Chain A
Amino acid sequence: MHELTAILVSMVLSATPLLLAASGELVTEKSGVLNLGVEGMMVVGAVVGFGVAFGTDSAIAGFAVAAIAGALMAALFAVLTLIFLANQVATGLALTIFGLGLSALMGKAYIGKTLPPVPHLHIPGISDIPLVGPLIFGENAMVYVSVAFVIAIAWYLSRTRSGLVLRSIGENHDAAHALGYPVRRIRFLAVLFGGAMSGLGGAYLSIVYTPLWTEGMTAGRGWIALALVVFSTWKPWRLLFGAYLFGFFSIAQLHAQGFAVPIAPEFLSMLPYLATILVLVIISRDAKRIRLNAPAALGKAFRATA
C-alpha cells in the first residue's frame, strides 16, 4: 500500500508540468496553429519563474511572471507566423533553440541558488487517509490548478460559443473568415494562452519540482507535451489520462529498478514512452475519428482575402 501511494503521488507530481504545457498547446493547436516551441517557452518560464520567486520570496509571483514570459515568447512566434506568415514548424523549432539559449543567458546569476520547498495541502485527518488522502488532498497547489485548467479547457472548447468559434477557425480558417470571425486575433490569443501555460509548466519544474535553476532543466519535457497532444487526439480528458499514464510509468519503472526487477534498465527507461503511445493509440485506433478530431487547418498559414 505504502509503495503504491508513493508511486501514485510521484506520478501526479511528475505529470503536472506535462499537463500544464500540453493543455495550453492543445488550445493553440485547436485554433489551427502548430507551435513546436513548447520546450523553449517552458525553459524560459522556468528561469523567469525561478528568478522572480527567488527575488520576491513569492512562488505565486514567480508563476505569474513565468506565465507572462511564456506568453511573450509565444507572442514572438505569433507575430512571425500569423502576421508575417512564416512557416510554423521552422519558427517553432527556432523558438525552442532561442529559448534554450536565452534562458541560459538569463539564468547565469541563479546557478547554485535554491528556493524553499512549496507547501503541500494538508487537511488534518483527511490528508492522512491511506492512498486517497495524500493523493487527492495532499498535493501542492499547482497540481489542483493544472487539473482545473483541463476541466476549464474541456468545458470551454465543447460548451461555449467562443470555444466553438476557436475550433471552427482551426478546422477551416477561410470559412470562419467568410463568416466574419477574426481569425488572426483569435489565433493570436490561443497562441498566447499556450505560451502562458508552457511558462507555468516550466516554472513548476524550477519552483516546485526541483527548486533550483540549471541550464536546459526542462530536459525534453516540451517535446513530450507536444506528443501527448497528438496521441490524445486533441481531447482534454484523454490528455489528462495520457499525462498521468506517462507519469505512472516514468515513476513505476524507477521503483521497479529499486526492487531489482530483472529487466535491463535501458528497457525500463523506454517503458513510459512505449506504454503511453501504445495505450493512447489503442484507445483512439479509429483512424477516421482521429482525422475528424485533428484540426483540419493545423499548421496552415492564413491569408486574409477580401
Chain B
Amino acid sequence: MSIKRRDFIIGAGGAVAATSVLGMPYIARAADKLKAAWILVGPSGDMGYSYQHDLGRLAVQKELGDRVETHKVESVPEGADCERVLTQLANQGYGLIFTTSFGYMDQTIKVAKNFPKVKFEHATGYKRSANVATYNIRFYEGRTVQGTLAGHLSKSGIVGYVGSIPIPEVIMGIDAFTLAFRKIRPDGKVKVIYVNGWFDPGKEADAAKALIDQGADIICQHTDSPAPVQTAEARGAWAFGQSSDMAKFGPTHCVTSNVDNWAPYYVERTKMVLDGSWKSTDTWGGLAAGMLSMPTFNSHVPAAAAADGMKAYNDVKSGARHPFDGPVVDKSGATKVAAGANMPDGQIAGLNWYVQGVEGDLRS
C-alpha cells in the first residue's frame, strides 16, 4: 500500500513539475531559439546521477546562451508517467528532449513517433529511430580502475557492492570490477546487495552497513546517493563514489569516484540541432572521450596501490587494456571470451551473467 502511495506522490511531484512547464506564459520566440528539456529520474539535488545530468544542462545554457532555453523536469517515474510528461513537452514546442534514464526507453520511442520534428536523446538505452538517438557512458571502464585499487587495498579480500537493480548496466560494472579485482586478488570475493531502486540514502546506507558487517572492507556502489561512501567512512572501509565526486563524504576513505561528464555531449548535440546537422546516432564514450572522469586518488591510498591504479587508468584510457579482455569465464566455468580476444560492445551491453568471484546467482 505504502509503495503505491509513494509512487503516486512521486508521480504527483512529476505532474507538478510538468505543470510548471505548461504554466509558463507563452511568449512568441524567434524561430532560431531552441527549447531543450531534460527528464530526470531523481531530484537534481541528489548529488549523484541526476545532479550530473543537470550540470550538463547548465553547461548547455551557459555555452549557447540566448540561442537556447533549457528546462528540467525532476523525479519523473520510469514508465507510463514519462510518456505524459514527454507528450506535454513536445506539445509545448520543445525541439530537443533528453530522457536520462533507462526506464524511459519505450516511452521515448513511442512519443517520438508522434512528434517526428522533435529530436529525442535517450540515455543508456538501445532502441533508436529516425528522431531518437542514444548515448551512454562506458562506466565500466572506471570499474577496472576501481577493481585494481581495491585489489591492493582490501585486507579481507571481500568487496561489498551496493547495486540498484540487476540490469546489464549494473552487471557490467560488477563484472568489470571483479575481473580487475581478481587479477590482483585471485581469491577475492564480491558480495552484491541490490536495494531495488536508484535513490534511497537510508536504504543504501543499510546495505553498506550489512556488507561491512559481513566482512567487506571495500564498498562499491551503483546507486545515486553519497550515503554508502559516508557509511564506509564512518566504519573505516574504503569506498568508491558514483556519478559525482563524493570525496567530501569520505575525506579519508573515498578512494576516487566514477564521475559522469555529460556536458560535452549535451553541448555538441544541442549545437547540431541548432545548425541542422543532428542525426540519430549511438554514442558510447568513456575515459578517452572525457565522458567519464576519475578525480585524483585519496592521499591516504598507499603509493604502490595508487601507482597501479593510475596505470590501469592510463591503460584503459589509451586502449592498451580492455576491461573485458579474455579469457573471461562465467560462474559455471564456461569461457565467454577467449584468451587474446576482447568482449565486443554488443555482448557487454547485454551482460546478464556474473563472472567468477561474484557471490550469488542471477536468475532470469
Contacts and interface: CB of A to CB of B under 8 A. Distances in A.
Given A39-B9, A210-B227, A212-B226, A265 B194 contact: yes
A214 B210 contact: no
Instruction: Select the residue from A212, A216, A219 with max chain B CB neighbours within 10 A.
Output: A216
Interface string B189-230: 001111111011111111101110110000000000111001
Contact of B202 (A14, A262, A273): A14
A257 interface: yes
Nearest to A255: B210
Interface in A14-42: 14, 17, 39
Interface residues of A, number: 53
A117 B203 CA distance: 18
A235 interface: no
Contact of A14 (B12, B191, B206, B230): B206
Contact of A265 (B16, B46, B166): B166
Contacts of B13: 97, 100-101
B46 A114 contact: no
B210 A6 contact: yes
Contact of A10 (B12, B195, B197, B210): B210
A11 to B, nearest CB: 10
A121 interface: no
B206 A93 contact: no
B16 A97 contact: yes
A210 B210 contact: no
Given A219-B202, A221-B202, A224-B2, A10 B209 contact: yes
A112 B45 CA distance: 9
Contact of A219 (B160, B165, B199, B248): B199
A257 B9 contact: no
Contacts of B211: 258
Nearest to B45: A215
Interface stretch (A77-85, A103-111, A178-186): A103-111
B214 A259 contact: yes
B201 A273 contact: no
A123 interface: no
Interface stretch (B81-89, B110-118, B296-304, B355-363): B355-363
Contacts of A104: 43, 45
Chain B interface bracket (under 10, 10 to 19, 20 to 34, 35 or more): 35 or more
A22 B59 CA distance: 43
A260 B358 CA distance: 9
B3 interface: yes
B5 interface: yes
B193 A205 contact: no
A203 to B, nearest CB: 13
B75 interface: yes
A259 B44 CA distance: 34
Contact of B230 (A114, A226, A277): A114
B200 A111 contact: no
A214 B225 contact: yes
A205 B2 contact: no
A257 B193 contact: yes
B227 A96 contact: no
28 contacts: A3-B213, A3-B214, A6-B209, A6-B210, A7-B213, A10-B206, A10-B210, A10-B213, A14-B206, A93-B12, A100-B13, A114-B248, A210-B231, A212-B230, A212-B249, A216-B46, A219-B201, A219-B202, A220-B5, A220-B6, A224-B2, A251-B206, A254-B206, A257-B193, A257-B210, A260-B191, A265-B166, A266-B194
Given A97-B13, A216-B46, 13 more contacts: A101-B13, A210-B204, A211-B230, A215-B44, A216-B42, A223-B6, A226-B2, A254-B210, A257-B210, A264-B363, A265-B194, A266-B165, A269-B195
